[in-house]
């Protein structure tokens, strides 16, 4: 199993085995996985956010931005080919092509991730994604004005962006157990909003002076961090000769939810023996409760052997898991809304106010700031009440009036606009974060999979891939609607999409309420169709 780790990681493990118990070693690796995957996907989003900032520099009203030139042509300062009246539509094509390729590639990416060494797979994906972002920035240095160039490079960047999400979700799901999963992944999912905010600030800093650097700086960040992933990521606890926490929960007592750290501590500290070799398999035995409440002993090596025998599932098997289709459809419309804000918000702020491109990018981070708190709140509430569909639905309900009010009053005052954006981000991002992390991980460990550890990436890819089709449709339609009907109609479109996502969740909401009333049997946290 050592071949799945880097040489540096193997040497580090020798030191840890010599100085720490397995339970302590597990906690160290678990914490490291949290930090590395957090920064990894944050960097993915830093790169993904750049286009939304730069496109307002590519296409701006030159007579307003540069009144000293006294030129009646509103496009004279824009970057060709985005210097025409149909610029919004062309920019919409860029967004849609990127996200459509990303969505389709996600299905394949999840399939490949479950069959690959995640350390190498994720590293290569980051290097290639960063490279094509560099190529986008190269258009500035080499004075490239071909729309085909922008379109093709952007699509290739989207393809390799798809390597990120299935990989990091699989890594987190492998190292973290069931208890407090919603809250833990809610905190972890801050990487999305933090990445968007950092991307806005970095791209905004360079956008007016040298927009090529807006692409280049995040791209270099991603490629450097890819080396950290290559060196330090351990794909699964079994690769470090540690038991799988999710299997131990299932094998001992399925109805109990305990965290990975607590579980491994209690199971491994009963008997402490010296580990053999460099991170060799420990011959310690762990005590756990059986189904009848009695005590039964299980060996760590049994868990390791079982983990190695798992086989990756097909995409169709993932689709047929109860709950996957319903949550995927709901996520389609949730991401439809969120990605319109992600890709068009700086542009809309610039359009509806007198702010500069840099100021508009800075103002847009309030949406992501609200999204961070929304994701944490949704996760905490899901842990407490075990009703993720209900929590998602009511947060979406809250997003509809906040979007309406923001469209009416957000441009009147900076403080009011910031407050309304924060509120809108809170309600919009909560369901998005909950479904793509805690719910996807739970479904990836559904009972029908019989504890298969190699299903997480595929399930996460199916759910997020379907959602990303909505993410592609939203920004694309926004460009067309804004060009032909105005921004008021864009917000009506977003409110309709939110209402449809509520309808998608309706059946799951009723099932959760019925279970809480003991009308049906089963665990309150079961996820069904």
pLDDT 10s digits, 345-370: 988 998 888 888 788 888 999 999 99
Q: How confident is the model at residue 446 (pLDDT cuts 50, 70, 90)?
A: low
User: Which among 19-28, 64-73, 288-297 has the top mean pLDDT?
Assistant: 19-28
pLDDT over 60 at 109, yes or no: yes
Q: What is the pLDDT of residue 320?
A: 85
Phi, psi of 191 (to 5 degrees): -55, -35
- At 433, list the tokens: 């974060």
Of 85-94, 151-160, 170-179, 515-524, least confident by mean pLDDT is 515-524
Going by C-beta distance under 8 Å and a sequence separation of 6 or more, which residues neighbour residue 84? 75, 90
Q: Which whole-number Å values give the CA distances from 54 to 116, 149, 220, 413, 487, in the listed order? A: 35, 16, 17, 24, 20
Q: What percent of the chain has pLDDT over 70?
A: 80
Within-domain flag for 527: no
**Coil/strand/helix, residue 309:** helix
Q: Domain check: are 132 and 275 in the same one?
A: no
Q: Which of 256, 283, 309 is the last residue of a domain?
A: 309
Q: Distance (Å, rounded) from C-alpha 284 to C-alpha 488? A: 65
Q: Render 171-199 in DSSP notation, one character per residue.
A: HHHHH--STTHHHHHHHHTHHHHHHHHHH
Could you list the residue range(s) of the whole structural domain that residue 245 is in? 241-309
Contact by Cβ (8 Å): 214, 276: no
Please check whether residues 344 and 426 belong to one and the same domain: yes
Q: Looking at the predicted structure, is the pLDDT value of residue 487 above 70?
A: yes
Domain shared by 176 and 205, yes or no: yes
Residue 225 lies in a domain: yes
Q: Is the pLDDT of residue 271 over 70?
A: no
The SS3 call for residue 492 is helix
pLDDT at 437: 83
Boundary (domain end) residue, out of 260, 278, 309: 309
Report pTM.
0.77
- Residue 133 pLDDT greater than 70, yes or no: yes
Q: Are residues 176 and 201 in the same domain?
A: yes
What pLDDT is recorded for position 15? Answer: 92
CB 320 within 8 A of CB 455: no
81-85, 256-260, 310-314, 440-444: segment of lowest average pLDDT? 256-260
Q: Is 28 in the same domain as 135?
A: yes
In this structure, the answer to whether residues 212 and 72 fall within a common structural domain is: yes
Provide the pLDDT confidence category of residue 302 given band limits of 50, 70 and 90: very low
Does residue 474 carry a pLDDT above 70? yes
Q: Does some domain include residue 525?
A: no
The CATH number for 386's domain is 1.20.1250.20
In total, how many domains does the chain have?
2
């Amino acid at each position: 199993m050592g071949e799945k780790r880097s040489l540096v990681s193997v040497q580090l493990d020798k030191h840890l085995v010599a100085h720490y118990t397995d339970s302590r070693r597990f906690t160290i690796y678990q914490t490291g996985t949290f930090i590395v995957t957090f920064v990894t996907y944050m960097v993915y989003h830093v790169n993904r956010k750049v286009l939304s900032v730069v496109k307002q520099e590519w296409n701006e009203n030159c007579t307003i931005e540069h009144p000293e030139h006294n030129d009646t042509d509103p496009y004279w300062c824009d970057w060709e080919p985005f210097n025409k009246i149909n610029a919004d539509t062309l920019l919409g094509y860029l967004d849609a092509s990127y996200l459509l390729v990303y969505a389709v590639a996600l299905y394949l990416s999840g399939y490949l991730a479950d069959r690959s060494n995640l350390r190498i797979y994720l590293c290569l994906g980051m290097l290639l994604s960063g490279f094509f972002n560099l190529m986008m920035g190269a258009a500035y240095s080499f004075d490239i004005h071909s729309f085909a160039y922008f379109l093709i490079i952007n699509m290739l960047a989207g393809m390799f962006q798809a390597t990120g999400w299935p990989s990091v979700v699989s890594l987190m799901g492998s190292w973290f157990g069931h208890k407090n999963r919603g809250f833990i992944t809610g905190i972890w999912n801050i990487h999305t909003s933090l990445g968007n905010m950092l991307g806005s600030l970095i791209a905004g800093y360079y956008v007016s002076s040298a927009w090529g650097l807006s692409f280049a700086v995040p791209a270099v960040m991603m490629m450097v961090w890819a080396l950290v992933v290559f060196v330090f990521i351990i794909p699964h606890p079994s690769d470090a000769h540690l038991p799988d926490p999710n299997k131990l929960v299932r094998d001992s007592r399925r109805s109990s939810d305990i965290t990975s750290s607590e579980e491994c501590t209690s199971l491994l500290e009963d008997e402490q023996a010296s580990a053999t070799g460099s991170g060799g398999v420990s011959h310690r035995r762990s005590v756990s409760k059986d189904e009848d409440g009695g005590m039964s002993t299980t060996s760590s090596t049994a868990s390791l052997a079982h983990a190695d025998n798992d086989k990756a599932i097909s995409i169709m098997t993932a689709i047929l898991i109860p709950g996957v289709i319903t949550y995927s459809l709901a996520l389609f419309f949730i991401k439809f809304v969120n990605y319109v804000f992600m890709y068009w918000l700086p542009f809309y702020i610039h359009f509806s106010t007198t702010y500069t491109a840099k100021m508009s990018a800075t103002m847009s981070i309030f949406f992501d700031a609200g999204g961070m708190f929304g994701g944490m709140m949704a996760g905490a509430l899901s842990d407490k009440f075990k009703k993720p569909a209900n929590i998602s639905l009511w947060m979406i309900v809250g997003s509809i009036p906040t979007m309406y009010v923001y469209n009416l009053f957000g441009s009147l005052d900076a403080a009011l606009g910031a407050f309304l954006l924060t509120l809108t981000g809170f309600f919009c991002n909560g369901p998005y974060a909950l479904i793509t992390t805690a719910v996807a991980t739970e479904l990836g460990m559904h009972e029908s999979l019989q504890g298969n550890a190699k299903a997480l990436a595929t399930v996460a890819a199916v759910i997020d891939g379907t959602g990303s089709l909505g993410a592609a449709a939203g920004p694309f339609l926004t460009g067309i609607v804004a060009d032909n009907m105005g921004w008021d109609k864009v917000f009506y479109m977003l409110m309709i999409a939110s209402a449809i996502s509520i309808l998608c969740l309706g059946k799951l909401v009723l099932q959760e309420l019925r279970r809480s009333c003991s009308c049906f049997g089963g665990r309150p946290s079961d996820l069904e169709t």
